[in-house]
């Protein structure tokens, strides 16, 4: 009996649950490990959704019908939304990783480089090839080069962002037009006009716009960033009302509102750049 009583504390000590021992030494329990792992996978899930939208946009564009091209533009719009969410979730949960950064860039090349370039080519030029216009062949070759330039500038912009990050001074400005904004300009235009272009003069103007967007992506013009917007903090009631009205307007009047937003953002960066140049010239001018 005495030996049994003396051995019983040792038995109880040896039978101590392994989870409690791991927690006592600072190890994370299985439940917490799975939860933390799920938090890290959440931004990647939004990146996969972004990539899915870009892939669908390519497939819809290859069909070539006006309704399919409109669906492709909508898919690019949803890709922009998912891309914004994955960055916000990663910053909010402190799950920024190098793998997530590179995975997001690869997805962006598809959704904001390849998909909008194919959409721009098909919507702006494909209808001309069905006709017998002598200019159609030359315009098709030009469109091929412009679409390729858009993809190259998109990849260039993403690689530069991964290396250098935001503009000096915090999270206020991007260096160059963001790829989602350039792709959004193409998607918003297609969503607004619907029917593909069948006039070679409009096609030339369209290709000039696509080339300008490619140049803006690879430029050093600073564009406003909304990464510092206090989404997780208490917002003023007026701000909430404005955001609610904007969402309602996008849902109800998507064609007009989206083209207005895309155009305004593109012009904003150019306007601010001109103001900075003028102010710099006036500052260095002798009195």
Q: Report d(CA 189, CA 22) in Å as an integer.
A: 58
Judged against a pLDDT cut of 70, whether residue 196 lies above it is answered with yes
Instruction: Give CA separation, 57 vs 107, 150, 273, in Å.
Output: 13, 16, 33
Judged against a pLDDT cut of 90, whether residue 230 lies above it is answered with no
pLDDT score for 235 = 60
Q: Which of 195-209, 235-249, 266-280 has the weakest average pLDDT?
A: 235-249
pLDDT score for 172 = 82
Q: CA triplet 92, 156, 70: central angle to 5 degrees?
A: 75
Give the mean pLDDT of 92-104: 83
pLDDT score for 286 = 63
For the domain covering 29-284, report its CATH number: 1.20.120.1760
> Which residues on neighbouring strands pair with residue 174, listed in sequence order?
223
Judged against a pLDDT cut of 80, whether residue 34 lies above it is answered with no
pLDDT score for 62 = 95
pLDDT score for 7 = 44
- More confident of the two residues 260 and 21: 260
Mean pLDDT, all residues of the chain? 83
pLDDT score for 226 = 75
Q: Report d(CA 88, CA 82) in Å as an integer.
A: 10
- More confident of the two residues 251 and 55: 55
Q: Which of 77-91, 141-155, 183-197 has the weakest average pLDDT?
A: 77-91
Judged against a pLDDT cut of 90, whether residue 134 lies above it is answered with no
Where does the chain have alpha helices with state H? 2-14, 18-24, 30-63, 66-92, 98-109, 115-129, 136-164, 179-193, 200-218, 237-252, 254-284
Confidence of residue 97 (pLDDT cuts 50, 70, 90): confident
Q: What percent of the chain has pLDDT over 70?
A: 80
- More confident of the two residues 233 and 79: 79
Indicate the pTM of the whole model. Answer: 0.82
Q: Report d(CA 180, CA 217) in Å as an integer.
A: 10
pLDDT score for 15 = 47
- More confident of the two residues 125 and 4: 125
Judged against a pLDDT cut of 60, whether residue 53 lies above it is answered with yes
Domain boundaries, the chain: 29-284
Structure tokens at 95: 């799950």
Provide the b/e sequence for 146-164 (b: ≥16 CB within 10 Å): bbebbbebbbbbbeebeee
DSSP-derived secondary structure for 106-150: HHHHIIIIIHHHHHHHHHHHHHHHTS--TTHHHHHHHHHHHHHHH
Considering only CA atoms, which of 100, 101, 213 is closest in space to residue 147?
Answer: 213
- More confident of the two residues 132 and 247: 247
pLDDT score for 37 = 58
């Amino acid at each position: 009996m005495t030996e049994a009583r003396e051995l019983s504390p040792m038995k109880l000590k040896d039978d101590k649950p392994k989870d409690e021992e791991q927690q006592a030494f600072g190890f994370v329990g299985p439940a917490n490990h799975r939860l933390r792992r799920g938090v890290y996978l959440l931004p990647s899930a939004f990146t996969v959704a972004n990539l899915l939208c870009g892939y669908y946009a390519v497939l819809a564009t290859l069909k070539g019908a006006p309704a399919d091209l409109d669906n492709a533009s909508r898919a690019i719009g949803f890709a922009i939304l998912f891309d914004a969410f994955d960055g916000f979730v990663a910053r909010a949960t402190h799950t920024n990783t190098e793998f997530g950064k590179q995975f997001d860039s690869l997805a962006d090349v598809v959704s904001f480089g390849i998909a909008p370039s194919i959409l721009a080519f098909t919507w702006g030029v494909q209808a001309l090839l069905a006709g017998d216009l002598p200019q159609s062949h030359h315009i098709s070759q030009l469109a091929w080069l412009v679409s390729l330039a858009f993809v190259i500038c998109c990849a260039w912009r993403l690689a530069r962002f991964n290396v250098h990050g935001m503009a000096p001074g915090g999270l206020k400005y991007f260096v160059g037009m963001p790829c989602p904004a350039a792709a959004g300009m193409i998607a918003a235009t297609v969503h607004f006009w619907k029917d593909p272009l069948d006039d070679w003069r409009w096609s030339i103007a369209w290709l000039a716009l696509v080339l300008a967007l490619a140049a803006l992506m690879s430029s050093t013009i600073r564009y406003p960033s909304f990464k510092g917007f206090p989404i997780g903090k208490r917002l003023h009631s007026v701000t909430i009302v404005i955001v609610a009205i904007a969402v309602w307007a996008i849902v109800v009047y998507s064609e007009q509102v989206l083209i207005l937003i895309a155009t305004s953002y593109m012009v904003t960066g150019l306007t601010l750049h001109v103001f900075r140049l003028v102010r710099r010239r006036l500052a260095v001018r002798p009195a």
